[in-house]
Structure 1
Amino acid sequence: MTIERNVSRLETIKKVLNGLNYEVFLGVDGATLDLKKMIGLGEVSPDIEEIYKQTNMDYMNMVSTKPIHINQIACALSHIKIYEYISNNTDDKVLILEDDVIPVEENLQYLAETLNQAPKNWEVLYLGHVINNNFSLFGKIKYYYLTHFLYKIGIKTKAVVRKKKTYPAPFSSLLKKQGAHIGTHAYAVRCNAVKKLIKLQTPLAQVAPDLLLMDAIAKNIVTSYTSKYIFFKQNDKIHSSIWGK
């Protein structure tokens, strides 16, 4: 997925994805949007600022002080646009890659077995992810086992509840279940999942696809799995267009 003004990235994409059969999908450019007009037309929730702040607090304990950037809205709309495309076509399983991804080559040896371990009921599959992904022994003890123990004995602080909702549970040797992460640069979706996500974003209520997925997963609206190994990461040599003009 890219946008028209980023077509210069296609040469990099060709090199990065050389050998793969893929389709370039053009998303929405924030420069073409008018947020006030979209709210007036009912395309965007009038409460989107408050929802943005609350979602950030609920899942990341982040206080949002900056106003929503129109390119965040554009990114969310781009993912909805591709969900609609998936919903209207026959492909049931689709891998979505944003235009700044690069493969983590040393981890690709685990990709085939990771996909083999994915159960039939998966709806969202993270192959690239940020936060809630410390899967070391220390991470599992601190963020999963300790969190669930504290919750069970009645210690339900905001931090405990937040981690219980977002840190994935053990599933198999290469997959975790129901993890809520930042990063929609590399994730797979099923057709039944995108229909749920479209419904949640009608009108648009979540500023970013990351937050939409975090909320839907934490509320068990969609069933997600997270790869133990990160197979795609964001290219730090490519500046994000979210905060640009």
Structure 2
Amino acid sequence: MSGFDRLARPYRWLEYLSFGRALERCRLHFLPQLADTRRALLLGDGDGRFAERLLRTMVKAGAPQPALRLPDGSVTETAASEDMQVVAIDGSAGMLAILQSRCAFARNLLVTYLTDLTQGLPAMLQYDRFDLVTTHFFLDCLSTAQVDRLVGDVKPRMTANARWVVSEFSVPPRGAMRLPAWTIVRGLYLGFRLLTGLRTQRLPDYRSVLQAHGFVLDQQTCMLAGLLTSELWRLDKSPEPLES
């Protein structure tokens, strides 16, 4: 997804011009519930606005030690708990560079990987375990089959009590907003195809994929009359029925 490099710097303002702060509110909707996060896996977080807010929340909850001024003049805050970490993976070097800059205050807690997530997670993460996974406006860059592969790769790396937070565009199945939402989503896909070369041209059925892998939708909030959705998923802990 290196085609997103050219959008890295103007992306924030293009987003604000198109949707105001709606996408940002969608990304941050569940943030107050995530203060107890210890290890987070952020997939396709883009320019890092969510990563920054999550790190600040984690640092504050982890009783930070006094700030340190680094040789380059930036200031870093070191959390008292050494088991706290945020791993951010993206296919765009430009997006990752902005994310790293935005999160420099907690660089000791941040690990980044430049990886094409359609090919799965980096092998070095095979022994890592995360209690939070996020995909903010990223799954719409994948086909349903690619989402299935990604979820299958991520699930074994999640703790039993982990949460998966999804922010996405959505086309309501019925009602007055269905046609306008379809038109907006179709226009976005066409625009990103021209600007980035994105091949995907329809929203994946990620909900069916998550459910097939044993996740249950715990909470959901819709915005802009259903065009945007913010969802919190958990692994299903219900006992399997006994065989008769």
Shared fold per TM-score greater than 0.5? no
The alignment's TM-score, normalised by the length of structure 2, stands at 0.26
| Higher RCO by CA contacts (8 Å cutoff, separation 6 or greater) | 1
The alignment's TM-score, normalised by the length of structure 1, stands at 0.26
